[in-house]
């Protein structure tokens, strides 16, 4: 019967596929409802902020909205010579409104970013424009300050015309687009971000390496010790994990400062002279030490969970087959722990690359990372769009690492527990 | 070339893990070259510990183990040249079957050509010719087992140890693997020390069986002797089925003895009783007691049938005999069947030779 219609039917005569779909529909709805709260949570707390961050980082509408008439008038201006009277008039009218609304300060700041010295010129204009007479605004404005005769300043205004810009991203890697619209590097003494990026990657890399070197033996011990001792060791590993991050960082400050316990010990053992105590804090050393200790559990736990599954008889088999303990370790045991190593390294690296509190407290000037720079722009300069741009660059970097890792090792091979 | 009778020798070996309890007590065991010896015993009897000491993963607390007359206690496992098949196979999951087998050869720095030859040979020996490039995870339990056996043999070790290698397989596969391992042993003549708690496995495969209990070898003999002539009641209990009577020796002479039970008396073969008045356990194999015996037998008793269980090739009959309601008979299902019905009284007879008076339980 079923072969005649080409479809398999259930005993009631409904096509099997349809019947199955209906039977599974309920389960699908149930499954969706179960994940719905998480999905909603992720969208609200993660997707939307990231979207907002992105739009902020490229948003440049502020100036565009402040000078609507000017930009309309500038549409036909080629930017080679001074603009026409039309543009001067439009700018005067726009600026007049801004001064009246007491929002001229923002424009002054923004245009000063674009061209140094713009602020004072604009301030002077704000004072003088009250006495302007109607007509021939070009002459009147140029009379206020000679810089208004410089076409460079007008070009600076024109550059801010588009409502979107990638200049924040360029700034993040110490580049900018100059007056001619070419992308060039900033002068050498102002290249700070690239150093920070390199330092961030470097610190994250070495912290990951140190964590790996320290966590591997610990995890191995944890996985092989009898339950009685391994539980105790596990608590020792997790205890710092349960302590507040701030407390741990503060305790490192106590240990590492120049009159601190570690330095006292070095002096006592005679390793260093009392008047020549090494600086272990407020530099990269402090960042390395504190971050390694803080991130260690993130390496130990995935390694441990993988090592726990490796049967001890495999090492025995290796030895009974004639391999020395070293060979058996590198040929048998080590390759089997790679999923754990991958998971641990990925976790620690990604955490380290965006680390903030510890470098801020013990890093000093030479030990701060890109996240500290982001925080600085968030809190001090209030350049949120630049902070957003750098945050997104960091996120892109992390995703890139994840992608490379997936290509090399395969994310399916990760074992977190 | 004569075979060495003490190729592997345990000499007064003691082993303790905690300094309080001896897991292995005064073990003396000689294994002949090319022999298949099984260490059989319940769990916790010390048999695996003995194997681990031989492999080098445990050290004897006292005594010495000799391999081909050389003491090996101070030789690390990787230098002993002993192959081992583990309980859970212990195949390297990240290597192919070929790489698994090549592993012992590679660490011995053999040439690639020799390695390929040897691996091919070993794989065809366990009839897994086409499986060289599979990963262990893609093989069934039986195939993994064969790979493990091939890997333990591929580097021509003098001794191969097997630690309950068939424990994880289902019944049919286990039986066919038993024959396969036995045949491999026969064809290449390697010395095998096999550990199991499955007596059927031990009886099928071994030249000799060492029955372990409580850290001691209870009996070391060939499978038939072990079954037919157990030297103590533990071995009699542990190997095969067994009907027992507890009693006291009332008379002993000329290779027979009379044992007085609570109800009645039986004539038995004194194995470990020496004098009158000793307590003893008499052991009779179920198949040695016959219903309505035609020949004259020196023990004749009447019993009441309490249970009949049909087993296909034979029928198990449970009787109440001389106050023992657990007396089991195995009756072959032949055409001329006897009158076995629940509640019937039947005559049971056995030779005093088959009723072994052993140590009391």
Segment B271-324, tens digit of pLDDT: 877 778 888 888 888 888 888 777 777 888 888 888 888 888 888 888 888 878
For the segment A252-264, what is each residue's pLDDT rounded down to a tens digit? 888 888 888 888 8
Mean pLDDT of chain A: 86
Mean pLDDT of chain B: 86
* Strands B70-71 vs A183-185: parallel, antiparallel or unpaired: unpaired
| Domain assignment present for B182 | yes
Q: Is the pLDDT of residue A218 over 90?
A: yes
Residues A266 and A130 in one domain: no
| Domain assignment present for A316 | yes
**Final residue in a domain of this structure, among A58, A75, A90:** A58
Q: Find the domain containing B27 and state its range.
A: 8-233
**Final residue in a domain of this structure, among A147, A163, A179:** A163
Q: How far apart are the C-alpha atoms of A216 and A213, rounded to whole Å?
A: 6
Using a CB–CB cutoff of 8 Å, tell me whether A319 touches chain B: yes
Residues B249 and B190 in one domain: no
Residue B20 has what pLDDT? 86
Question: Which residue is closest to B150 within chain A, CA to CA?
Answer: A321
Residues of A in contact with B93 (CB under 8 A): 336
Residues B27 and B52 in one domain: yes
Question: Which residue is closest to B91 within chain A, CA to CA?
Answer: A314
Q: Is the pLDDT of residue B59 over 70?
A: yes
CB contact under 8 A, B86 and A317: yes
Q: Find the domain containing A272 and state its range.
A: 193-413
Residue A3 has what pLDDT? 46
| Domain assignment present for A221 | yes
Q: Which strands sit side by side in the sheet containing B8-16, from one edge to the other? A: B22-31, B8-16, B62-67, B70-71
- Band of the pLDDT at A44, cuts 50, 70, 90? very high
Residues B202 and B252 in one domain: no
Residues B125 and B150 in one domain: yes
Q: HSE of B114 in the Cβ direction (CA atoms, 13 Å)?
A: 11
Residue A1 has what pLDDT? 44
Residues B210 and B245 in one domain: no
| Domain assignment present for B1 | no
ipTM above 0.90, yes or no: no
CB contact under 8 A, A317 and B77: no
| pTM of the complete model | 0.77
| Domain assignment present for B3 | no
Residues A84 and A210 in one domain: no
Residues B224 and B255 in one domain: no
**Final residue in a domain of this structure, among A120, A148, A163:** A163
- Band of the pLDDT at B1, cuts 50, 70, 90? very low
Residues B169 and B246 in one domain: no
Number of domains in chain B: 2
Q: Is the pLDDT of residue A413 over 50?
A: yes
Q: Is the pLDDT of residue A159 over 70?
A: yes
End-to-end CA distance of chain B: 46
- For residue A388, give the nearest of A47, A45, A58, A44 by alpha carbon: A58
Number of domains in chain A: 3
| Domain assignment present for A245 | yes
Q: Is the pLDDT of residue A5 over 60?
A: no
| Percent of chain A topping pLDDT 90 | 20
* Strands B243-253 vs B36-40: parallel, antiparallel or unpaired: unpaired
Residues B160 and B303 in one domain: no
| Domain assignment present for A376 | yes
Residues B252 and B303 in one domain: yes
Residues B351 and B245 in one domain: yes
Residues A253 and A375 in one domain: yes
| Domain assignment present for A184 | no
Using a CB–CB cutoff of 8 Å, tell me whether A400 touches chain B: no
Q: How far apart are the C-alpha atoms of A28 and A31, rounded to whole Å?
A: 5
Residues B71 and B143 in one domain: yes
Q: Which strands sit side by side in the sheet containing B82-85, from one edge to the other? A: B82-85, B159-163, B191-196, B36-40, B208-213, B216-221
| Domain assignment present for B353 | yes
Beta strands in chain B (DSSP E): 8-16, 22-31, 36-40, 62-67, 70-71, 82-85, 159-163, 191-196, 208-213, 216-221, 243-253, 256-260, 265-270, 279-284, 290-291, 299-310, 314-321, 324-332, 345-350, 356-358
CATH at A329:
1.10.3720.10
Residues A368 and A240 in one domain: yes
Residues of A in contact with B195 (CB under 8 A): none
* Strands B356-358 vs B265-270: parallel, antiparallel or unpaired: parallel
Residue A2 has what pLDDT? 43
Residues A405 and A291 in one domain: yes
| Domain assignment present for A178 | no
| Domain assignment present for B301 | yes
Residues A11 and A84 in one domain: no
């Amino acid at each position: 019967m079923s072969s005649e219609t080409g479809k398999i039917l259930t005993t009631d005569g409904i096509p099997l596929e349809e019947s199955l779909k209906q039977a599974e529909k309920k389960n699908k709805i149930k499954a969706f409802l179960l994940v719905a709260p998480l999905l909603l949570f992720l969208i609200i707390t993660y997707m939307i902020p990231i979207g907002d961050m992105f739009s902020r980082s490229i948003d440049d509408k502020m100036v565009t909205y402040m000078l609507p008439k000017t930009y309309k008038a500038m549409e036909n201006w080629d930017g080679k010579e001074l603009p026409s009277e039309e543009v001067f008039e439009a700018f005067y009218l726009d600026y007049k409104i801004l001064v009246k609304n007491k929002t001229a300060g923002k424009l002054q700041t923004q245009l000063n970013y674009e061209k140094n010295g713009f602020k004072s010129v604009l301030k002077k204009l704000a004072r003088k424009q009250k006495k302007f007479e109607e007509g021939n605004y070009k002459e009147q404005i140029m009379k206020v300050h000679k810089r208004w005769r410089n076409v460079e300043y007008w070009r600076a205004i024109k550059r801010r015309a588009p409502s979107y810009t990638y200049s924040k991203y360029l700034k993040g890697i110490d580049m900018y687009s100059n007056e001619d619209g070419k992308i060039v590097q900033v002068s050498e003494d102002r290249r700070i971000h690239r150093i920070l990026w390199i330092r961030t990657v470097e610190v994250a890399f070495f912290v990951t390496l140190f964590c790996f070197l320290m966590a591997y033996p610990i995890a191995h011990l944890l996985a092989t010790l009898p339950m009685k001792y391994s539980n105790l060791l596990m608590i020792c590993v997790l205890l710092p994990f349960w302590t507040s991050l701030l407390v741990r960082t503060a305790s490192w400050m106590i240990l590492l400062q120049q009159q601190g316990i570690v330095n006292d010990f070095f002096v006592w053992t005679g390793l260093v002279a009392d008047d020549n105590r090494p600086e272990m804090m407020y530099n990269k050393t402090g960042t390395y030490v504190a971050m390694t200790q803080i991130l260690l559990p993130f390496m130990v736990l995935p390694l441990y969970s993988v090592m726990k599954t490796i049967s001890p008889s495999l090492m025995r088999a290796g030895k009974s087959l004639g391999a020395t303990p070293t060979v058996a370790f590198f040929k048998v045991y080590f390759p089997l722990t790679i999923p754990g190593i991958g998971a641990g390294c990925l976790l620690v690296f990604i955490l380290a690359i965006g680390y903030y509190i510890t470098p801020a407290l013990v890093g000093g000037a030479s030990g701060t990372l890109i996240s500290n720079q982001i925080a600085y722009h968030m809190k001090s300069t209030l350049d949120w769009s630049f902070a957003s741009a750098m945050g997104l660059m960091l996120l892109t970097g992390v995703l890139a690492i994840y992608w490379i890792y997936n290509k090399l090792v395969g994310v399916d091979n990760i074992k977190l527990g | 070339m004569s075979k060495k009778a003490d190729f592997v020798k345990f000499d007064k070996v003691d082993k303790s893990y905690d300094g309080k309890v001896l897991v292995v007590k005064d073990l003396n065991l000689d294994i002949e070259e090319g022999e298949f010896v099984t260490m059989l015993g319940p769990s916790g009897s010390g048999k695996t510990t003995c194997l681990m000491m031989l492999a080098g993963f445990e050290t004897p607390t006292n005594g010495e183990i000799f391999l081909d007359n050389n003491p090996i206690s101070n030789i690390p496992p990787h230098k002993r040249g002993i192959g081992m098949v583990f309980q859970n196979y212990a195949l390297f999951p990240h290597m192919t079957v070929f790489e698994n087998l090549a592993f012992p050869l590679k660490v011995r720095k053999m040439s690639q050509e020799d390695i390929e030859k040897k691996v091919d040979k070993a794989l065809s020996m366990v009839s897994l010719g086409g499986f060289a490039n599979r990963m262990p995870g893609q093989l069934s339990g039986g195939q993994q087992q064969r790979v493990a056996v091939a890997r333990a043999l591929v580097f021509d070790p003098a001794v191969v140890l097997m630690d309950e290698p068939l424990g994880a397989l289902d019944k049919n596969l286990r039986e066919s693997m038993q024959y396969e391992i036995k045949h491999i042993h026969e064809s290449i003549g390697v010395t095998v020390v096999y550990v199991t708690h499955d007596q059927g496995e031990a009886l099928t495969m071994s030249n000799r069986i060492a029955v372990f209990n409580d850290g001691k070898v209870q009996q070391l003999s060939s499978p038939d002797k072990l079954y037919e002539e157990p030297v103590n009641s533990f071995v009699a209990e542990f190997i095969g089925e067994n009907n027992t009577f507890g009693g006291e020796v009332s008379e002993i002479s000329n290779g027979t003895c009379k044992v007085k039970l609570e109800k009645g008396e039986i004539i038995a073969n004194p194995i470990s009783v020496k004098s009158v008045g000793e307590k003893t356990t008499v052991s009779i194999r179920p198949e040695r007691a016959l219903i309505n015996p035609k020949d004259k037998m020196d023990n004749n008793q009447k019993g009441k049938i309490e249970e009949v269980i049909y087993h296909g090739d034979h029928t198990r009959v449970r009787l109440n005999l001389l106050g023992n309601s657990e007396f089991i008979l195995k009756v072959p299902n032949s055409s001329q069947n006897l009158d076995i019905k629940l509640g019937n009284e039947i005559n049971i007879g056995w030779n005093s030779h088959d009723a072994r008076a052993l140590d009391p339980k």
